[in-house]
Structure 1
């Protein structure tokens, strides 16, 4: 049985995909499978997948309803106990898989629903702008998605097969909404290592994401209404100030 299934959704991602595939291929083992769900690309993405098919265990290319629809397709075919999601413009840092596999070999790892770590948030030149990820404890998650989702591990049996797949109503933050379904009963672990980098410009860091996060907190009633409004304006101001910062 595979331990980790890496799922990547692509659509016209030729400018980034090769870098991601190579970052995975450099550390892939027999315990890891790599799945690519493409939305019908026409820019050379498929040629890149075929060129590096030695690293890709399964792929399809067909129209879908967005990234979460593609991820749901990936979950359905995944053979691993744990599922990791990486965007085409993300990169897996060296030793990321070995660090996860080492932890997963421990006796109590299967008791967790979700395992996360740090991400580097970088600009187009690779300059680190921010360190992301604080773990998924309820005291944090009820207010915001405190976990860095890129490269985190989801237990297929105790998470997806228990609470269901991603809700396509949400276009940006469905990963947050899914974790909230378990509420304070989510069994999470934080690995204090940087395992991936994500590039600025994605929708997960946007005003639309802030609005969706507000809606998700409201749906699951994780905080009182007035406090939810306070968090919305806090996040809005934080986003605005971050956009004005100079790279570190």
Structure 2
């Protein structure tokens, strides 16, 4: 079995209340060929001191950078510059992996080693700040769906380094949907895989939960990359808003 190196990147900013659990979830991974990069935006709380306590525990596998940035995608791009792994995963500073998450991904990648995969996703459990499960998200990538909305999950998913070589890094013009915009560049040619299990928990309420900005940026990403016409993208935005506010009334977001 090939033993690929996995780079996990966490962007943080004033995350003292949540980052310990995030780090612990990486530390508990049963797959060990992991490089962990924490890119901090210059936190003014105890985030930095919490991270430093883990440097020895990771035995050289944890690297930490703290400086001002222009948002999460700027931080992720800095992480990409530092990364030495074959595959890259992005984990929020208030999100968590399940213990066998990376091992499950690696086993899947090895099973499909002849398919030249670029992006592998899974199911993700959405939780609130009280750790209550809201719902499970994440479907297999399908271009006819993906060009309308991001039907895959992104937390903890794996991206081949070849993906960034081929399509570039994250566009920092986007503050929330830069991950979606990057994958739209590949259009229907994206080579994907899917694990039909939950591999991570995502806390609702972070930057990606700013609904109005999400809708506007999603519209911009679709039109810019030619996946939808202006009229189609506006219709998609209307339907997304309707779905979001319905879920909000039902307490699912």
TM bucket, shorter chain: over 0.9
Offset, 1:32: 1.0
Pairing 1:225–2:227 present: no
Structure 1 segment 3-152 matched on structure 2, within 5 A: 3-27=5-29, 29-53=31-55, 54-55=57-58, 56-106=61-111, 108=113, 111-152=116-157
Task: Report the RMSD for the aligned CA atoms in angstroms.
Answer: 1.7
Contact 2:97–2:201 (CA under 8 A) maintained in structure 1: yes
Deviation of the 1:120 alpha carbon: 0.7
Match of 2:216 among 211, 220, 230: 211
Q: Deviations over 1:104-129 (max 9, x none)?
A: 33352660110000111111221211
Q: Secondary structure at the match of 1:135?
A: coil
Aligned to 2:174: 170
Taking structure 1 as reference, are residues 41 and 94 closer, same or farther at Cα in structure 2, changes over 3 Å only?
A: same
Q: TM-score, normalised by structure 2?
A: 0.93
* Paired residue secondary structure (1:14): coil
TM-score (norm 1): 0.94
Aligned residues: 247
> Kindly tell me: are residues 145 and 197 of structure 1, through their superposed partners in 2, closer, same or farther at Cα, counting changes over 3 Å?
same
| Equivalent in the alignment of 1:179 | 183
Q: Mark the CA change 1:28 to 1:110 in structure 2 (over 3 Å): closer, same or farther.
A: farther
SS in 1 for 2:159: strand
More off after superposition, 43-52 vs 23-32:
23-32
C-alpha distance in 2, partners of 1:110/1:19? 34
Query: In 1, are the aligned partners of 2:30 and 2:100 still within 8 Å (CA)?
Result: no
CA contact (8 A) 1:120 1:198 kept: yes
